[in-house]
Structure 1
Amino acid sequence: MNIQNTIETQVKKAVAQVYSINLDTLEFQPTRKDFEGDITLVTFPMLRQIKTNPVQLGQSIGEYLVEHVAEVERFNVVQGFLNIVINDRFFIEEFIKIGNTPNFGKLKPPRDAETIMVEYSSPNTNKPLHLGHIRNNLLGYSVAEILTASGKKVYKTQIINDRGIHICKSMLAWKKYGEGETPEGAGLKGDKLVGNYYVKFDREYKREIAELMVLGKTEDEAKAEAPIIQEAQQMLLKWEAGDPEVMALWEKMNQWVYDGFEKTYKSLGVDFDKNYYESQTYLLGKDVVARGLQKGVFYKKEDGSVWIDLTDEGLDEKIVLRSDGTAVYMTQDIGTAIQRVKDFHINGMVYTVGNEQDYHFKVLFLILKKLGFEWANHLYHLSYGMVDLPTGKMKSREGTVVDADDLIEQMTLTAKQISEELGKLDDYNEGEKAELYRIIGLGALKYYILKVDPRKRILFNPEESVDFQGNTGPFIQYTYARIQSILRKSDFDLTAEYLEAGDYELHEKEKELIKQIQLYPETVQQAAQNHSPALIANYTYELVKGFNSFYQNVTILGTQDEVEKRFRVQLSKVVGDVIKSAFGLLGIQVPERM
C-alpha cells in the first residue's frame, strides 16, 4: 500500500533528524496477528548504522511518525519491531477508492504494451485430450488471462501435432479394421473414435511382435519387422510424398479430431487466437539453420548433419539438421518461434509444456539467443509436473488414459451428488440444477489443479476436490453465492456512491478484510511475474477465509445502524467482486445462488 512509501520517507527523515544518519533501505513486514498494528518496521538491521538499543530506536521513530504522518494513529515497540497502527480514516478512504474503481486489480494494456504469446494444449491428432492436457490447458489459459490483467497484450495459441508415425498408426488401423466407421455412425466424438484406432493399432502390433518372437526373432527384430509397423512407415512416406489417397484419409480423420477437440475446449472454457499446425511448420527453420551455419553458430559433421555445441553453457551438443537434410523437432521449434514473431510482432512467448521437456527448452532458448534474436531474452517455459490419479499412471497406447470429457462429466456428477446431499436446491428447476452442477464440478476441477504450484506433481482426487469445506473451488463459490444472497436481501441502492469516511469506526474484521482486498492488484502482478495461477487461487482462499470470519463476527443486515449496515453490505459486495475477478483469471465461473 502507498502508506508504506509515506512511512518509509518519514522514517528516513526521523533517523536523519534524530541520529544524523542517512539510511538507504528499510525492512517492513505485516504486523504479526498477536500484536496490535497494521505494518511493522524491523529496526534490527538499522542498528548496524545507529548505535542505540532497538527499543529506544523504535520509540523515537514511532513518536516522530505520530507527529508527522496523519495516517499513523499510535504504535507499540516489541524488541526490534516497531508496530504501527494506521487510523480507520485511511482504510475507509482506500476502500472507497477500491469501490469506485472499475475492474479493480486489473490494468488495461496501454497502446505500447508488451505483447506476449502463450502457447498451450498442443495435442496430437491421434487421440482425445486427457487429464494431462487438462492441466496444460488450465495453466496456459489462466496465465494468459493473468498476463492480460497485469497490463500486457496477449495472444493465445496452440501448435497441433498433426503429422508423424503416431498419426499414421490411427489412420492405418481405421483403414484396415474400420469398415468405414464414422463418428456419427458410432455415436462418438471424432477424437475418441480416432483414439480407439490408435489403441487398436497397438494391440495388433503387440500381437504380431509376439508371433514373430515365437518364430525365433529377438524383440528388437520383431518390433522392426512386424508387418503393421512397416505398413505405417510406408503410409508416412506416402503422406510426405503427397499421395492423394493418404492425404484425403489424413484430412478426413484429422477433421474428426478437430471437431472433437473443439467440443472439449468449449466444455473446459478455453480458447485460442490462432492454431498452428505441424504439417505446415515442420519445414520451417531449415533456412535459419543454413544462415546460422554461415555465421558459425552451428557446425557440420562429416556425415553432413548440422549441430550446435553448447558444452560451454553446461549443456551438450545438439543436432539441428539430420545428415539427409531433414529437420528435427528443434529445427521446427526454431522456425515456428521466428514465424510467430513475424505474424504477431510479439516481444516474448510462454510455452506451456510438461517438465519432461525442460532440457529441450533450455536448448531452444539458447539457440535463439545465439542467433541474435532480441526477443529470445523474453521466452519462458511454463514447466509443470505430471498429474497422477489414485489408480496410478496413464498410458494412451493401452487405452488407460483418463479422458478429459469423461473427467468433466464425472466432476459434474460428483457435484450433483454432493449438492443433493446438502439439500439446498429445492427451488431450482432441472435446467438450473444442471447448470449449477456443471459450474461447481468444473470449478472444483480447475481450482484443485490451479491452486498447486505449476512445477509440482499433482495427485488428483475428484471427490476431495468437490468438498464444500477447506481450500476448494466449491467452498469459494459457496462464499460468493452467500455474498450475493446478502446483496439481494439488502434494502438500499447498491449502485449508490460509497460512503464518505466520516467518523465511522472500523471493526477489526472490517479492517482485516480491507487490508486483504488491497493486496489484490499486487497479487495479480506477482502471479504474472511468476507465471503462477496458484498465487491467485491461494489469495482468493485467504480472502474468503477473511470474509467468513467477518461474516461470523459482525452483524451485517441485522444491525440497526444504517451507516454500519450500508458499509458492511458494500464491503461484502467488493469482496464478491474481487472473488469473481480472481476466479475469472483462473477461468472459473461463480454461481449467483447455491
Structure 2
Amino acid sequence: MNIDHFISEAVSRSVEALYGPLGEEQLQIQKTRKEFDGDYTLVVFPLLRRSRKSPEATAAEIGEHLTAHMPEVKSFNVIKGFLNLALSDGFWADRFAEIAADGAFGQAPATGRNVMIEYSSPNTNKPLHLGHIRNNLLGYSVAQILRAVGHNVIKVNLVNDRGIHICKSMLAWKRYGGGETPASSGMKGDHLVGKYYVEFDKHYKVQVKELTASGMSEEEAKKRAPLMLEAQEMLRRWEARDPEVYGLWEMMNGWVYDGFDVTYKALGVDFDKVYYESQTYLLGKDIVQKGLDMGIFYRREDGSVWIDLTADGLDQKLLLRGDGTSVYMTQDLGTAYRRFEENDLDDMIYVVGN
C-alpha cells in the first residue's frame, strides 16, 4: 500500500462529504512535525472558502468525520489551522505484515550499490561522549540494514587526530602533567588526555582574564594569551614534523586510541577502514592550492584562503589559516578526494549530529 496515497484519498472523501466535490483545489497533506502528536497533517486554510468556518472549526469537523468513517484514523488534534491525524496501531501492524510477506522488500538490484558510511568521527583530545554513542549505533545499524539487502557497504571512521585542539591537550600535559600516564593514573587513555584539554582551558581563561584586567579587549586577549600563542606554535612545529612535538603527539594519541577501542568493543560496533586527518590534510592543502591557482578560492590580506559560497545561499568559508596551517575543511577536502579515489562509490553517507 502507498500510505501517502491512502491518506490523501481518505481525506478527500471526508472533505467532499462535508463540503461537496473538490475542484482544482489541491489538498495540502504532509508528515506531522515531530514536536506534535500525529502521523499526517492536513493544512485546512485552503478549505475555508468551502467550510465558511474558522480554521479550528473546519479542522475539527474534518477530523470528526474521518474518525467516524475511517477505522484506520484512531484520533486527531487541531493546532490552529492544522489537523494532525494519528493512524491506528492495527493500520501499522498491517503494513508490517505486508512487508514481512514481501520476500523482495528492500532488496538491492542484482548489482548492489557501493555505499560508504562514516560514523563516530571522534577528536583525539577528549573521550567519546553521548553524541558519539548515538552516531555509532545509528551508523552501524544503517550499515547492517544496507548490507542485509544486498549492498556493498564500507563502514568507516574518520579520526580528527591533528589540529589546534590536539596541541592544547599536548601542551597542558607537557606543562602540568608531571609525567602522568594511563598506567600511573589508572585512567582510560582518552579520559586522561581529555583531562588535560580541560586543564589547558582552565589556565587559558586565567591568562585571558589577566590581560583584560590590564586593559586589553577580550577578543585581543584570547588571541594574545601566552598559552594560545604557544599552542599555535606547537601546531606549526607539528606540521613541520618537529621530532619532539611529533613524538609527544604519537604517544598521547596512542593512549586515546586504546581508550576508544575499549568503548567500541563495549558498544559492539566496528569499522572496515579508519581514516586519519593527519594523513589527508596535506592532500587537502594541495587541493586548496589548486583552487587558488584556478581562481575558485581567494586569499585575504592575512594570508588565509577562503571560498565565497554566498551565491549558493551559504557563507564564506575558511579553507586555510593565514599561518599556513590547515582547518577542518582542509582535511575534509583531502579525505573526500582520497575516499573516491580508493573506492568506486555510488553513495557516501555521513552520520553527524541528531
| Counterpart check, 1:28 vs 2:6 | yes
Q: 2:115 is paired with a residue of what secondary structure? A: strand
Q: 1:159 is paired with a residue of what secondary structure? A: strand
Mapped to 2, the partners of 1:325 and 1:214 lie a distance apart of 32
Mapped to 1, the partners of 2:316 and 2:217 lie a distance apart of 32
| Counterpart check, 1:173 vs 2:178 | no
Mapped to 2, the partners of 1:313 and 1:164 lie a distance apart of 29
Structure 1's 178 and 309: CA in aligned 2 closer, same or farther, altered over 3 A? closer
Structure 1's 141 and 267: CA in aligned 2 closer, same or farther, altered over 3 A? same
The structure whose Rg is larger is 1
Q: Look up the match of 1:183.
A: 182
Count how many residue pairs are aligned between Structure 1 and Structure 2: 286
1:50-109 Cα offsets, whole Å, 9 max, x none, are xxxxxxxxxxxxxxxxxxxxxxxxxxxx9xx899xxxxxxxxxx98995896xx9663x5
Q: Look up the match of 1:227.
A: 226
Structure 1's 196 and 151: CA in aligned 2 closer, same or farther, altered over 3 A? same
Mapped to 1, the partners of 2:291 and 2:217 lie a distance apart of 43
Mapped to 1, the partners of 2:97 and 2:222 lie a distance apart of 69
Which amino acid letter does the alignment assign opposite residue 251 of structure 1? E
CA contact (8 A) 2:99 2:105 kept: no
1:419-477 Cα offsets, whole Å, 9 max, x none, are xxxxxxxxxxxxxxxxxxxxxxxxxxxxxxxxxxxxxxxxxxxxxxxxxxxxxxxxxxx
Mapped to 2, the partners of 1:179 and 1:307 lie a distance apart of 41
Q: Look up the match of 2:44.
A: none
User: 1:532-543, aligned counterparts within 5 Å?
Assistant: none
CA contact (8 A) 1:28 1:42 kept: no
TM-score under structure 2 length normalisation = 0.66
Mapped to 1, the partners of 2:12 and 2:237 lie a distance apart of 72
Structure 1's 213 and 144: CA in aligned 2 closer, same or farther, altered over 3 A? same
Structure 1's 324 and 137: CA in aligned 2 closer, same or farther, altered over 3 A? same
Structure 1's 231 and 350: CA in aligned 2 closer, same or farther, altered over 3 A? same
CA contact (8 A) 1:106 1:149 kept: no
1:293-321 Cα offsets, whole Å, 9 max, x none, are 5666x154575765544333323444445
Q: Give the Å deviation of 1:276.
A: 0.8
Q: Look up the match of 1:246.
A: 245
Mapped to 1, the partners of 2:236 and 2:290 lie a distance apart of 28
Mapped to 2, the partners of 1:295 and 1:216 lie a distance apart of 44
Q: Give the Å deviation of 1:235.
A: 1.7
| Counterpart check, 1:255 vs 2:233 | no
Which amino acid letter does the alignment assign opposite residue 131 of structure 1? L
Q: Give the Å deviation of 1:160.
A: 0.8
Which amino acid letter does the alignment assign opposite residue 175 of structure 1? K
Structure 1's 143 and 177: CA in aligned 2 closer, same or farther, altered over 3 A? same
CA contact (8 A) 1:27 1:42 kept: no
Mapped to 2, the partners of 1:125 and 1:188 lie a distance apart of 15
Mapped to 1, the partners of 2:97 and 2:135 lie a distance apart of 37
CA RMSD of aligned residues (A): 4.1
Q: Look up the match of 1:312.
A: 311
Mapped to 1, the partners of 2:97 and 2:214 lie a distance apart of 80
Q: Give the Å deviation of 1:186.
A: 1.0
Mapped to 1, the partners of 2:253 and 2:240 lie a distance apart of 18
Structure 1's 163 and 41: CA in aligned 2 closer, same or farther, altered over 3 A? same
In structure 1, the gaps of 5 or more residues are 5-25, 33-39, 50-77, 84-93, 355-383, 385-594
Dislocated runs of 4+, deviation >6 Å: 94-97
Structure 1's 191 and 320: CA in aligned 2 closer, same or farther, altered over 3 A? closer
Mapped to 1, the partners of 2:142 and 2:222 lie a distance apart of 42
Q: Give the Å deviation of 1:208.
A: 2.8
| Counterpart check, 1:121 vs 2:99 | no
In structure 2, the gaps of 5 or more residues are 24-65, 72-95
TM-score under structure 1 length normalisation = 0.41
Structure 1's 187 and 41: CA in aligned 2 closer, same or farther, altered over 3 A? same
Which amino acid letter does the alignment assign opposite residue 279 of structure 1? S
Q: Give the Å deviation of 1:148.
A: 2.8
Q: Look up the match of 1:206.
A: 205
User: 1:222-371, aligned counterparts within 5 Å?
Assistant: 222-292=221-291, 298-300=296-298, 303=301, 307-321=306-320, 327-354=326-353
Mapped to 1, the partners of 2:176 and 2:305 lie a distance apart of 41
CA contact (8 A) 1:183 1:193 kept: yes
Q: 1:312 is paired with a residue of what secondary structure? A: helix
Which amino acid letter does the alignment assign opposite residue 230 of structure 2? E
